[in-house]
C-alpha cells in the first residue's frame, strides 16, 4: 500500500511485486486500510477487490442541507 502512484514508495514496491503473492495498491486512505485489515485472512484477489472498493466508497462529498 502506497500513498501516491509514481512516488518513491510505489516505485520501490513495483520492484517487489510478485503476482498473486505480493501486489501493490496506490492511493491509500483509511477506508482502504480498514478493508485490508478486515479481509487480511482472505485470498489475495478478495483483499485487492475489497481494498479498492473501500477506497472508492470512502471518498464522498458531504455538505449541510
Q: What is the mean pLDDT of the chain?
A: 96
Domain that holds residue 51: 8-16+23-57
Answer whether residue 7 shows pLDDT above 90.
yes
The C-alpha cell at 25 is: 495498491
Residue 2: inside a domain: no
What's the total number of domains in the chain?
1
Q: pLDDT digits over 21-52, tens only?
A: 999 999 999 999 999 999 999 999 999 999 99
Per-residue confidence (pLDDT) for residue 56, from 0 to 100: 95
Per-residue confidence (pLDDT) for residue 9, from 0 to 100: 96
pLDDT band at 65 (very low <50, low <70, confident <90, very high): confident
Answer whether residue 63 shows pLDDT above 90.
yes
Residue 45: inside a domain: yes
Amino acid at each position: 500500500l502506497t500513498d501516491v502512484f509514481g512516488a518513491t514508495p510505489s516505485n520501490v514496491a513495483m520492484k517487489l511485486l510478485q503476482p498473486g503473492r505480493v501486489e501493490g495498491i496506490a492511493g491509500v486512505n483509511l477506508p482502504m486500510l480498514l478493508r485490508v485489515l478486515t479481509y487480511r485472512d482472505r485470498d489475495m484477489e478478495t483483499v485487492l477487490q475489497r481494498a479498492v472498493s473501500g477506497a472508492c466508497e470512502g471518498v464522498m462529498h458531504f455538505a449541510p442541507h
